[in-house]
Structure 1
């Protein structure tokens, strides 16, 4: 009886870990970003959870803000240092950030491409979406780090 109970408990624990890992993979429940990050980065696009890119990618993004994907997103030195420090502290966690994606673009990462393989290029071009980088168009709770595919609503 004891060995069957132990086996049951081990199976239950393994299942719980798998469910927890799957849930975590589609959500970011890390520390609340500093207000300056949300204000500065979130004024043009989603203030992306830092775990979506490896630390090296964040470092390159922050060092090239004068040419930030075609825009000048320059910041004063103190603000840039504060944001960069936060990104370096919390960036690159989990399976989303195993390798540096091409051009340090979240939307070009292996994780992003695998998760969105069923979404056509035409869907991303819809007026309500505009770009694969517009996470909040389909992931209503993206600003809170929730990208769970069970809550995706793709606009027509």
Structure 2
């Protein structure tokens, strides 16, 4: 009888472990999926304000210095006035800095920083060496397709970009 109970216990433990192991996302403790899925970091003001015009780009795509520069020039944000009240701006900046590429909170950020010089602070994600290398097979004619518009429109090809998923298996490049 002891062997039977022990056997049932082992089978149950293996079943529970398997269920957990295969239902949890892969990646490190930050839920970073081996570098192709961004950590699920969020901030209400960042999501509300930034995502009102474009996807709320992950802080892991740029270093702190870049985010400081971007947030300090919201009145001229890529040709638009994206000014915010000082409290909201400070809240978003704190969030961006805490989760920036050089904050050490994600594999994606580490990869972005590995391809960047220590003093580099690109104003655009699309100007990082990491981005250029990851998209080197995409021609300028693809970026200019009407359905894409520019390299900054991640969601045009990365269908799960808003969820932080940039796995190559989920990429669908629009034909037009």
The interval holding the TM-score normalised by the smaller chain is 0.7 to 0.9
Query: Is 1:61 aligned to residue 76 of structure 2?
Result: no
Contact 1:101 1:110 in 2 (8 A): no
Contact 1:51 1:97 in 2 (8 A): no
Higher gyration radius (CA): 2
- Residue 30 of structure 1, CA deviation: 3.7
1:95: which partner in 2?
111
1:10: which partner in 2?
none
Q: Note closer, same or farther for the CA distance 1:132–1:101 as it changes in structure 2 (3 Å cut).
A: farther
The 5 A counterparts of 1:1-156 are 20=27, 23-31=33-41, 33-92=42-101, 93-98=109-114, 99=116, 100=120, 102=122, 104-156=123-175
Segments of structure 2 that go 5 or more residues without pairing to the other structure are 1-25, 102-108
Segments of structure 1 that go 5 or more residues without pairing to the other structure are 1-18
- Residue 59 of structure 1, CA deviation: 0.7
CA RMSD of aligned residues (A): 1.8
- Residue 84 of structure 1, CA deviation: 0.3
Tell me how far apart the structure 2 counterparts of residues 78 and 152 of structure 1 sit (CA, whole Å): 37
Tell me how far apart the structure 2 counterparts of residues 55 and 101 of structure 1 sit (CA, whole Å): 8
TM-score normalized by structure 1?
Answer: 0.81
For these two proteins, the number of residue pairs brought into alignment is 136
